[in-house]
Amino acid sequence: MLFPLLLSCALADFPVRCLPDQVLGTWEINVTDFDRPVINDGVVCPSTLKSTATRRRITLQSPNVAIDEDDGAVGTWSMVYTQAIRLELGDTRFLFYLDWEVLPDTEVLSHCARSSPKNSWAMKLGVTHRYRACIQARNVHPISDKTDSIHDPSNPGPIHRQGTDRIFIPHYLPVPVPVGKTYRRLQTEGKLKYNSFKARAGAGTSDSLPASFDWRNVDNESFLPEEVADQGSCGSCYAASTLWTMMSRVMVASGRKDLLGNVKKLSLEHVVDCNAYTQGCDGGFPELVAQFAEEYGILTDDQYYSPYVAGTGMPATCMAPEFLQGERYYFTAGRPIGGYFDGLTPVEEMQLEVLRHGPIVVNVYGSSQAFRDCQSTYTSDDGEGGEGGDYLDYLDHAVMIIGWEYDETQGETYWLVQNSWGKDWCEDGVTKIKMGSNEFGIESYPVTFYWWSTGPVYYDEGLFTIDATAFYTCVGIIVALLLLVIGLIIGMIFVVKKTAKTMKIGLYRPILAEETTAFDLTSAPLDTDLISTQQETSASY
């Protein structure tokens, strides 16, 4: 049962495979206006951009330095495994998958000097910006003489390139590393006392590392969700392990006071259905789940319209509520420990991160028979993973480190690893992997992120948008208000006219009364004798 299940869980479905040294050079990035609205917690980009797009020239240098050629600004960049580039410069983050094509013999030709159409975005740094831009990128001045590579996606293993050998660069360069004669002289004289771990961890090295540590039992309390993740037949290991790590980190940060992980849980279906940065049941990467959580937030299970049905292998259609609506949890700073991909991470650095903030997500060679079968040796198969335990070309599964355990009998320390294959796998869903030798690639690609507890941030982004329901509601309210105002005006006119008429009648009544009194000819009887006398006088003339 486990073997077919495992095959369905790749880190990502895109078959492109490019190495960090193949993408070094100056990139031309065409960027649209930041006016692409969010629809269903995502942004749809066209396959081609208009000629009016803004053009930026950014140089990627080793190990993780990005330089804006227009203004000299400096930022950072990292590969997302071997498939995409994510860089941050100024107030903008760029994310673009690299392009590829399938050859007639089913091998894949990766084009490491250009972005994949429709799978490239730009966004403003910060939690929950509404608008995005679409981009297209091309490496116009590559450092490597060969920027294409060919591989068979059906088989794990090293990439067959035509070009320079791979260069391994350790995480962090906190101080200049001496080279050449100076370095050899310092080694010979015993004066090379520089401790790279202390320089990286800084004040954090004061934290004492216990011989054993397990987030399932800290002062008799567990800081892990009670339910073990079970991805089912969906290749959602990247999402399941990341969400369970997020819930654990909320429990740690809140001291179990927040309901997440105890009563509520994050919606795995929401991430599988809606995250455009990953490929649903066909795979994805933990840091891009964290980026989705930073930009959109992840809904709780009861707030998304569907429970986890992707476990059947068929994810549902994304039907997210309006942007930022519903109960969501946000996380920031999702990236490989050390800041970028491609290099082994010191185990002490990983231990400190687990001890301080909670479990972390790691990527491993899950197709190994030893890993699938939970062999008691807790080590990988001999000969697998390439020379020197380099598993970067074999990573195909995401799991969660929940602590470590020192075995006095063996004299070895082992990582405690919780999988996303349900509680029946290994010991209640947990296995042990030897620490310090990069077994299964466990120390080559650890990812971390942090809970943003204050919720969404609302920005004045200069654009006004409203959904259809709200629009018609507003129109109805405006029409009702207009009708009310018109009715009030008509009523006031009627009242004024009636009042004026009443006042006019009241003014004329006294005048009419006076005239009637002055000229009332019937108010006295006629004097008939006087009339007769007047008539006789008239006749005598």
Domain boundary among 390, 424, 458: 458
Same domain, 114 and 220: no
Same domain, 382 and 324: yes
Of 50-54, 111-115, 513-517, which range is least confident?
A: 513-517
212 and 292 share one domain: yes
pLDDT band at 311 (very low <50, low <70, confident <90, very high): confident
| Percent with pLDDT over 70 in the chain | 75
**What per-residue confidence (pLDDT) applies to 149?**
85
pLDDT-derived band at 343, boundaries 50, 70, 90:
confident
Does 383 lie in the same domain as 344? yes
User: Which segments of 399-527 does DSSP mark as H helices, in order?
Assistant: 468-518
End-to-end Cα spacing for the chain: 151
Half-sphere exposure of 415 (CA within 13 A, CB side): 30
The predicted structure's pLDDT at residue 9: 67
SS3 62: coil
Residue 227 falls within a domain, yes or no?
Answer: yes
Mean pLDDT of 395-399: 94
Instruction: Specify the pLDDT at position 350.
Output: 97
Report the DSSP pairing between strands 430-434 and 360-364. unpaired
- Range ranked top by mean pLDDT from 43-52, 86-95, 97-106: 86-95
User: Do 139 and 206 belong together in one domain?
Assistant: no
Domain of residue 452, residue span: 181-458
pLDDT-based confidence at residue 93 (cuts at 50, 70, 90):
very high
**What's 280's DSSP letter?**
G
Residue 317 has pLDDT above 50, yes or no: yes
In-domain check, residue 272:
yes
Looking up residue 290, the CATH number of its domain turns out to be: 3.90.70.10
Global pTM value: 0.76
162 against 342, higher pLDDT? 342
Per-residue model confidence as pLDDT tens digits over 55-85: 999 999 999 999 999 999 999 999 999 999 9
DSSP for 248-278 reads HHHHHHHTT-SSBTTTB-B-HHHHHHH-TTS
Residue finishing a domain among 400, 430, 458 = 458
Amino acid letter, 290: A
pLDDT of res. 157: 52
CATH of the domain at 121: 2.40.128.80
Residue 508 gets which letter from DSSP? H
Are 98 and 86 within 8 A, CB to CB?
no
| Within a domain: 525 | no
Give the model's pLDDT for residue 349. 96
Domain tally for the chain? 2
Nearest C-alpha neighbor of 416 from the set 360, 461, 372, 454: 360
Residue 111 shares a structural domain with residue 33: yes
Measured CA distances, 15 to 96, 105, 427, 460 (Å): 14, 14, 33, 39
Least confident residue range of 46-50, 78-82, 446-450: 46-50
**Best CA proximity match to 151, nearest among 24, 60, 22:** 22
**199 in the same domain as 139:** no
The structure tokens 């090295």 sit at 205
Mean pLDDT of 441-467: 81
In a domain, 502, yes or no: no
pLDDT at residue 148 is higher than 90: no
Q: What is the pLDDT of residue 504?
A: 62
Q: What is the pLDDT of residue 189?
A: 38
Reading the block at residue 177, the tokens are 């590393």
Query: pLDDT tens, 192-227?
Result: 332 333 333 333 445 689 999 999 999 999 999 999
**How far out from the chain centre does Cα 473 lie?**
30
Q: Same domain, yes or no, for 100 and 189?
A: no
Question: What tokens appear for 94 in the block?
Answer: 């760029």
In a domain, 380, yes or no: yes
Does 110 reside within a domain?
yes
Strand-pairing partners, residue 150, are 109, 160
What pLDDT shows up at residue 503? 67
Is 478 within a domain?
Answer: no
Over 60: is that where the pLDDT of 99 sits? yes
| Residues 328 and 301 sit within 8 Å (Cβ to Cβ) | no
Sequence-ordered list of residues with C-beta below 8 angstroms from that of 405, at least 6 positions apart, any chain = 212, 214, 413, 414, 416, 432
- Are residues 190 and 58 part of one domain? no
**Average pLDDT, rounded, for the chain:** 81
Average pLDDT on 140-157 reads 81
Is position 198 within any domain? yes
pLDDT at residue number 496: 81
Q: Are residues 201 and 258 in the same domain?
A: yes
Query: What residue type is 225 in one-letter code?
Result: P
pLDDT tens for residues 511-536?
545 554 444 444 445 455 544 555 55
- Looking at the fold, whether 147 and 190 belong to one and the same domain comes out as no
Residue 215 CB burial class (10 angstroms; 0-12, 13-18, ≥19): buried
Q: CA separation (Å) from 245 to 15, 224, 251, 315, 443?
A: 27, 8, 10, 22, 17
Choose one of 458, 484, 511: the last residue of a domain: 458
Q: Are 274 and 42 in contact (CB under 8 A)?
A: yes
- pLDDT for 353-369, tens place per residue? 999 999 999 999 998 88
For residue 407, the tally of other CB atoms under 10 A from its CB is 13
With cut-offs at 50, 70 and 90, classify the pLDDT of residue 384. Answer: low
Are residue 284 and residue 372 in the same domain, yes or no? yes
SS3 track for 343-412: CCCCHHHHHHHHHHHCCEEEEECCCCHHHHCCCCCCCCCCCCCCHHHCCCCCCCEEEEEEEEEEECCCCE
